[in-house]
Amino acid sequence: MDTVATSKHILADRIRQLAREKNAVILAHNYQIGDVQDVADFVGDSLGLSQQAAKSEADVIVFCGVHFMAETASILCPAKKVLIPDLDAGCSLSDTLKAEQLKAWKDRYPDAVVVTYVNTSAAVKALSDYCCTSSNAVRIVESIPAHKPVLFGPDMFLGAYVSRVTGRKNLHLWAGECHVHAAVRPEDVEKAREAHPGADFLIHPECGCVTSCMVYLQDKDLKGKDAYITSTEGMVRHVTSSPKNQFVVATETGILHRMRKLAPGKEYFPVSDEMECKYMKMITMEKLWRSLEQGIFEVKVPPEIAEKARLPIERMVAVS
Ligand code: SF4
């Protein structure tokens, strides 16, 4: 083993040792760097990890993901200490809708039902009626009485998709988007599919990165033709169980590490190498170690906000 590999190994062992001493559980989002995924107790999407957090008996949760995810874990587990290894790990999509902006929007549509994507701050969730993921957004909007106007944000592409599928005319969209999603265009999808014609095409509906492709898929009616809109867990299940050996993957490239680990010997092609979330990649092994060692950085949601935000989150979990 070379020196770099040995020191990586030592650091991973130290992290595991510290986690045991502190009775901490390490949760890593699918988009984290490979080393962080490898040292974590659980790897998954934001909703799945929050559910893990809620079930865990650990005293401390170290959330290797972005800030809104740690907030959601803190809301669901108020008695636990929730840590994020880097406080700057934010989310460009979440930042496009602030609580004051949502308040002003609601004032313009006082009768509207507010549905926000899970990629939002706790303060925005507290002003929402429902939170949703990409996979249950359609079901949630369909469950709202047809005469009720709906305010949907912050991802305009997911909103456009929901609007197409439901045919709802009184759905008002917030014009937000994620910087990772902006990096992938329908032409990239077309090129990747042409380059690997025998591959299954997997598109992730959870993170807001690929929602324009969802609209594109619907336009092109590619669903069912080796194209699958599915969660990251669904993607992982797909590559492990499919007889196919090649997959074009349209989501943040971090997921490829997990796929290669769980279904080795197959080929994975990102739809675009640019689909990398700089916020997710802020969490390093050194920061994770420091977080455990020093108990930093604690993410706590003020009780009055947490109380209001819990209901829309629980509604989201119930429809998942
Ligand atoms: S990939 Fe986009 S939506 Fe997901 S955490 Fe990063 S910035 Fe936010």
Distance 101 CA to ligand 1 centre (A): 20
Has residue 34 got a pLDDT over 60?
A: yes
pLDDT tens for each residue of 70-86: 999 999 999 999 999 99
Has residue 214 got a pLDDT over 80?
A: no
Distance 1 CA to ligand 1 centre (A): 35
pLDDT tens for each residue of 233-283: 789 999 999 999 999 998 889 999 999 999 999 999 998 888 899 999 999
Of 129 and 190, more confident: 129
Give the helix ranges, DSSP H, for 22-170: 34-39, 46-55, 67-76, 99-108, 122-126, 137-142, 156-166
Distance 252 CA to ligand 1 centre (A): 8
Round to whole Å and give the CA distance between 266 and 203: 18
User: Cβ < 6 Å from ligand 1: which residues?
Assistant: 66, 91-93, 119, 178-180, 207-209, 252, 277, 279-280
**For a substitution probing ligand 1, which of 46, 92, 95 has the most ligand atoms within 8 Å of its CB?**
92
Distance between alpha carbon 215 and the CA centroid of its chain, in Å?
19
pLDDT tens for each residue of 130-151: 999 877 888 999 999 999 999 9
Domains of the chain (ranges, CATH numbers):
3-90+280-301 (3.40.50.10800), 94-178 (3.40.50.10800), 184-270 (3.40.50.10800)
- DSSP states along 99-122: HHHHHHHHHH-TTPEEEEESSS-H
Run of H or E including 62: strand 60-64
Nearest CA to ligand 1 atom 6: 277
Most confidently predicted of 39-48, 90-99, 153-162, 207-216: 90-99
Round to whole Å and give the CA distance between 5 and 260: 19
Residue 44 forms beta bridges with which residues? 29
